[in-house]
Amino acid sequence: MSDDTAPDGAHAPAHRLAVIGAGVMGTGITTLAVGRGLPVVLVDVDEDILDRARANVANQLRLARMMGKLPRDGATGELVTTTRIEDIAGATAVVEAVTELAPLKAKVLAEASAAVAPGTLLISNTSAVPIDEQADSVLRPEDLAGIHFMNPPYMIHTAELIRGPRTGEAALAAAGRLLADLGQNGVVVGDGPGFVINRILQRMINEAARIVAEGIAPAASVDAAFEGCLGHTTGPLATADLIGLDNVVDSLRVLHERTGDAGYEPCALLLDKVTAGDFGRKTGRGFYEYGGHAS
């Protein structure tokens, strides 16, 4: 287990956060938390992944502060990295931020639930898997809520706060307080595949990709139409590249399996790009090549 930055403030923070999964979202949530002065234990199975995550957190924190998205003069929370799930035992809240694969999320949440004290807030950072489905994996379903952080969370300050049918009032209130301490506006929504954002967004991305595949318009024209005609800051295909096309396909599969709606079945172009390893920004190529030319 290793330490990074010690907290600057004299007062103990309200939360001690554990984040499980040091990928794109786990690292982004960690950046958000330490940038708001909260101590974080970041857990992953591989020390090399954790080494890269520490470097990414430092770079993201510098960028977010430079852009005024995180306080420039505030305390920096302590960051501890570990491969041991047991090291989350002292956390006041745990965020699961692993890949959007339901069995993996269930395994991680079960381990986290067993490692922390009763009443500890458990959060699934999920973009599509219903919270009540995941509640079957934890010892105390009333402690589990969902938060769908946007990517990158240190730049986008609104998140979906998902209340599952078994989420308790105390957990929902604790999740709201955590979001407030993270400088996030939590929009409370009900449970169901994809919740609000991805129930709509993933179908839009899928249709946009079909339009490109059918030769109706290239990616840049699809996005320009959404930006210019509808006022979207980013078009659906550039958004897909930011999310990660692998994550888009995983989310579409979750939605398709749980709704039976053919509109969520991942289109061939998305599947081809994922098979080729063209995931978007994180690999340098998706619907665009970075920086910025339509592929």
pLDDT by 10s per residue, the chain, length 295: 444 444 444 445 578 999 999 999 999 999 999 999 999 999 999 999 999 999 999 999 999 999 999 999 989 999 999 999 999 999 999 999 999 999 999 999 999 999 999 999 999 999 999 999 999 999 999 999 999 999 999 999 999 999 999 999 999 999 999 999 999 999 999 999 999 999 999 999 999 999 999 999 999 999 999 999 999 999 999 999 999 999 999 999 999 999 999 999 999 999 999 999 999 999 999 999 996 444 4
3-state secondary structure of 105: helix
State the number of CA atoms in the 13 A half-sphere of 175 facing the CB: 31
Distance CA 222, CA 219 (A): 5
DSSP letters, 157-216, are -EEEEEE-TT--HHHHHHHHHHHHHTT-EEEEEE-STTTTHHHHHHHHHHHHHHHHHTTS
Question: According to the annotation, is 69 in a ligand binding site?
Answer: no
> How confident is the model at residue 14, as a pLDDT?
73
- The β-bridge partners of 289 are 285, 293
Establish whether 23 is an annotated binding residue.
yes
Helix H or strand E segment including 130: none
Q: Is 22 annotated as a binding-site member? A: yes
Q: Judge whether 282 is annotated as a binding position.
A: yes
Nearest-angstrom CA–CA distance, 104 and 108: 6
Question: What pLDDT is recorded for position 8?
Answer: 43
Q: What is residue 74's predicted lDDT score, i.e. its pLDDT?
A: 83
Query: Rounded to two decimals, what is the model's pTM?
Result: 0.88
Is the Cβ–Cβ distance between 76 and 37 less than 8 Å?
Answer: yes
Tokens 């079945």 identify what position? 265
Any idea what the Cα angle at residue 247 is, between residues 182 and 226, rounded to 5°?
Answer: 85
Phi and psi at residue 14, in whole multiples of 5°?
-70, -25
Task: Please check if 1 is assigned to a binding site.
Answer: no
Confidence at residue 202, expressed as pLDDT on a 0 to 100 scale: 97
- Per-residue model confidence (pLDDT) at position 15: 85
Write down the pLDDT at residue 13: 59
Q: Is 21 known to sit in a ligand binding site?
A: yes
Quick one: angle between helices 236-243 and 197-213, nearest 10? 110
Rounded to whole angstroms, the Cα distance separating 210 from 208 reads 5
Task: For the beta carbon of residue 100, count every other beta carbon within 10 angstroms.
Answer: 23
Burial of 120 (C-beta count, 10 Å sphere; 0-12/13-18/19+): buried
8 is in an annotated binding site: no
